[in-house]
Amino acid sequence: MRSPMMRCLILAASLVLVSSSAAMAEEQNQDHHSQWEKLNVDGLAAFRAGHFDEAEKLLIDSQKEAEAEGKENLDLAKSLNNLGLLYSNQAKYTEAMALYKRSLAMREQLAGANSSDVSTCLNNIGALLTDQGKFNEAESYHTRALAISEKLGSSDSDIATDLNNVALIFEKQGKYAEAEPYYKRCLALKVKSQGAESPEVAIALNNMAGMYLSQKKYSEAEALYNRSLEIREKALGSDHPGLAPVLNNLAGLYKDEGKYDESIKLYKRSMDIIEKSFGPDHPHLAIILSNYADVLRATKQDAEADKMSARAKAIEAKKGR
């Protein structure tokens, strides 16, 4: 399991589009915008803190406030994007895609086909497709997003996000030589723009490590995974769900190297974090359970391995309903 692609969380717009209607209507719209802004910011804060039920309520309320501003507006497009992001992280793929596509159409109409708002939505759709294994479809969204960002002269952080996403798509298709320069440029821009201790740098390190692991370059991968884990623990705390992907990946590396005790320890910690954060039926837990079952079989613990595999299959079955 790799880190989720770096999706962009959109806060309040700096420009509010207001029609030239009566002053009272403008004042009412501004009231709706102010309330929308607070709900949106609070919803994103709850999302980042892992309080997903609270985040959903706040983001749905922000959507309603935006809809009160008018049929289509950029506040509404941002609410749809952010609610889609929440559902994507909960593996509610159908709901997330519908929201993303509605947001994309609205942004293309209101902000232009080559706007930064459109680039953000393209990245999120690409990430959602990647989570579902639809790599060819995802590549077209991510390469378009990168082209827009570079054309606009976007910030180093935004371009780094796009580079990471393109690199990951190439890697998923086994195009390692094409992926590596994108990863390296992404990491350099993240360090430059956010500092070497940023959680965003940790994501870049984790994803580059995954590429090396896929090529069995274990020493390079281990160093990057450990550095990523160190940054995340310092920034997020020891029980944050953002640690689980790195723990899972490092556990897999130790399994491949035959370091089974270290591998089992990390898989257990990763499973515990996911289950506490998302509950017992999250798709990421199924991935870790399957990986854990493999290392149990490698250590001749077949009965326990069968139990873990059964749990993973049960979760996958629920996901498919």
Instruction: Give the model confidence (pLDDT) of 242-260 as tens digits.
Output: 899 999 999 999 999 999 9
pLDDT of residue 71: 77
pLDDT of residue 9: 37
pLDDT bracket for residue 62 (50, 70, 90): very high
107: tokens are: 């942004």
DSSP symbols for 158-213: HHHHHHHHHHHHHHHTT-HHHHHHHHHHHHHHHHHHH-TT-HHHHHHHHHHHHHHH
Asked whether 129 and 141 are in contact (CB, 8 A), the reply is yes
Asked if residue 320 has pLDDT above 80, the reply is no
The residue with greater pLDDT, 150 or 91, is 150
- For residue range 267-302, what is the model confidence (pLDDT) as tens digits? 999 999 999 998 998 888 999 999 999 999 999 999
Asked if residue 17 has pLDDT above 70, the reply is no
In this prediction, residues 142-160 reach a mean pLDDT of: 93
Whole-structure pTM value: 0.68
Distance CA 147, CA 165 (A): 12
Asked if residue 15 has pLDDT above 90, the reply is no
pLDDT bracket for residue 148 (50, 70, 90): very high
Asked if residue 4 has pLDDT above 90, the reply is no
Asked if residue 49 has pLDDT above 60, the reply is yes
Asked if residue 55 has pLDDT above 90, the reply is yes
Domains and CATH numbers, the chain: 23-111 (1.25.40.10), 112-233 (1.25.40.10), 238-321 (1.25.40.10)
- Percent of the chain's residues with pLDDT above 70: 90
Q: How far is CA 81 from CA 1, 40, 55, in A?
A: 24, 11, 13
pLDDT of residue 262: 97
The mean pLDDT value of the chain amounts to 88
- For residue range 104-119, what is the model confidence (pLDDT) as tens digits? 999 999 999 999 999 9
pLDDT of residue 25: 40
314: tokens are: 């049960």
